[in-house]
Every structure is written in structure tokens, then in C-alpha cells.
Amino acid sequence: MKPGAIIPANAASLTSLTVTMAVMCYLACLAIGALILVDRAVTSWTSGLSREMTIQVRVVRDADIDKEVEKARSITAAFPGIVEADVLDESEGAKLLEPWLGTRSLTGLPVPRLIRVVSDTDHPPDALALQKALSQVKGASLDTHQKWEVELTRMARALSAVSYAILLLICVSAVAIVIFATRAVLQANRHIVDLLHLVGARDSYIARQIDGRFVRTGLLSGFIGVGLGILTFLLLGLFGGGSESGVAAASWGLLFSAPRVALWSYGMLFAVPLAATLICLITARITLIRRLGVVT
């Protein structure tokens, strides 16, 4: 008898297993991709926040806002550890409010003026001393973005934990699916197994032939899942940004910008077929040992 003839290639149980495992592998690819994208986005965001600060100069009664802004800029530019201090135009400040207020005119509203500050990463400035120096500017306050950096890091950890939990659940589900598929295959082909026993075939031989079927099933479903996962991320990178503008579009473009996703990131997805194959092989072997009584 030719190896592999015990279980037909078009067996219903194996076909259902291939489809189900392909879906599981696709979901695993999405979870791994989410880990990569979240880590990449948070790293980009926090690296910008860590070296930039913002000075806000509010409109104060009996104070010339332009003079106060220039005074704050001069103090900041001369402060040790500051590389750059740029005053944002009123139009640029209004654009920052568009996601909340829309494109309506802000004329007549006391919109604060903003100063973008870039610090030296090798010799960072003393934020407390800078805040004290700015106390002589009416309506000035310093934002170091540390609160946002902490929140982003916390968010990244939470999303990573969720992604790992999803991967664990996928693995557990895959093991359960392979167990049921193995039992179904044995039950559907019980007459063949009994006949092989009658002609002297050993249980180890039967187990090896069934193992081969499950290995091929794991590889096929794994590569199908990876292919669908890569296609999904490529489509998100090409069409995900849409025609939106503002903060939402910038954030989406950062997460799903296909040209800037390194090839090694896609390479990590190819661990999925290997994992699927190992799950199919090990789980099927253990199940077969228990059902056929193979002595190892």
C-alpha cells in the first residue's frame, strides 16, 4: 500500500480542518500584525513626544499677546538644552483645533498661541527650571508631553496583552480542532484501520501515514492564512487612509503605511505555518497514540 493511501486526500474531515485552520492562521496573522503596527506606531509617537515640548501663551487682559509670545520664545531659545523654538502661526494653531471645532472661523476667540520647542536628546533641558523662567511671561505654560507619553505606553501594553491573549486562544482552539478532526478521521476510516490490523500492519505505521496527512494540512492552511494576512495589510496600506484629513488620517497613515513596513515584519508572519504544522503534528500524534495504543 502506498504511504498516505490510508486517509484519502479529499476526506471531508481534513477538508474542514484545512479551512478552519486557515481561518485560525489568518486571525493569528492579524494579531501578530497588530503587535507589529502598535509597537511601530507607539515608538514613532513617543520618540517625537520625548524630544518636543509645547509652550502655550494664553490671551491675558492688559497684555500684548504678540510681545508675550516673543518674550517666551526668546527665553526658551536661550535656555540650555533647547535646540529650536518656533512660534506657530495663528492659522496653524487653528488647524490643530479642526478635529474638534471643524473648519469654522475662530476670529474673535481668545485662541492661545503656541510655541514648538525641540530639545537636545543628549543634553535635555531642565523642564522645571524652564517653567520657572517662563513664569515672567503672562499666560505662559509649559507642556512636556510626559502625560501623553505615559498614556501611549500604557495603551500599547494593553493592546499587546490583548493580542497575546488572542494568540493564546487561537492556539488552544486550533489544538481542540485538530483533536476532533483526528478522532473524526479515525472514526470515518475505522474499517480501513481494522483491515490493516488484520493483514499485520503495525499501529506505528498507521500513525505515521495519518501524521503525514496532518502535516500537509497544517502547512497548506498556514500558508493560506499568511497569504490572506499579507494581502489584508497591503490593502490597508494602499486604501486604508481614504480621503480623510486631520488627526485621524495622520494616525491611520502611520499605522497602515505599507511602503514603510519593513520586509522583516512580513517575515515574522511566516512563523504561523510552522506553528500550525507543529500543532497539527504534535496534537494528532498524541491523539493517535491514545486512540491506537502506540507505544513510544
Q: What is the residue extent of each domain of the chain? A: 12-47+149-292, 59-138
Nearest CA to 41 among 205, 179, 145, 155?
Answer: 155
**Rounded distance, CA 205 to CA 133, Å?**
82
* % residues pLDDT > 90 (the chain): 14
**Rounded distance, CA 180 to CA 164, Å?**
25
Show Cβ contacts of residue 218 under 8 Å, excluding neighbours closer than 6 positions: 21, 273, 276, 277, 278, 279, 280, 281
More confident residue, 4 or 284: 284
Average pLDDT over residues 164-177: 92
pTM (predicted TM-score): 0.68
Average pLDDT over residues 128-151: 82
What's the pLDDT band for 21 if we cut at 50, 70, 90? very high
**Cβ contact 125:55 at 8 Å:** no
Report the chain's mean pLDDT, rounded to a whole number. Answer: 77
Per-residue model confidence as pLDDT tens digits over 24-70: 999 999 988 888 878 777 777 776 666 788 888 888 887 788 888 88
Q: Rounded to whole angstroms, what are the CA distances from 123 to 51, 74, 112, 143?
A: 11, 19, 29, 18
Torsion of CA 87, 93, 95, 99, to 10 degrees: 130
**Rounded distance, CA 90 to CA 87, Å?**
9
Per-residue model confidence as pLDDT tens digits over 208-246: 777 778 888 889 999 999 999 888 888 877 765 544 444
Number of H helices, E strands in the chain: 10, 4
Q: What is the reported pLDDT for 246?
A: 44
46 phi, psi to nearest 5 deg: -70, -30
Q: Give the angle 147-145-79 at the CA atoms, nearest 5°.
A: 135
Q: What is the reported pLDDT for 254?
A: 47
Nearest CA to 63 among 50, 55, 72, 76?
Answer: 72
More confident residue, 8 or 127: 127
Among the residue ranges 110-119, 176-185, 201-210, the one predicted with the least confidence is 201-210
CA Rg value for the chain: 30
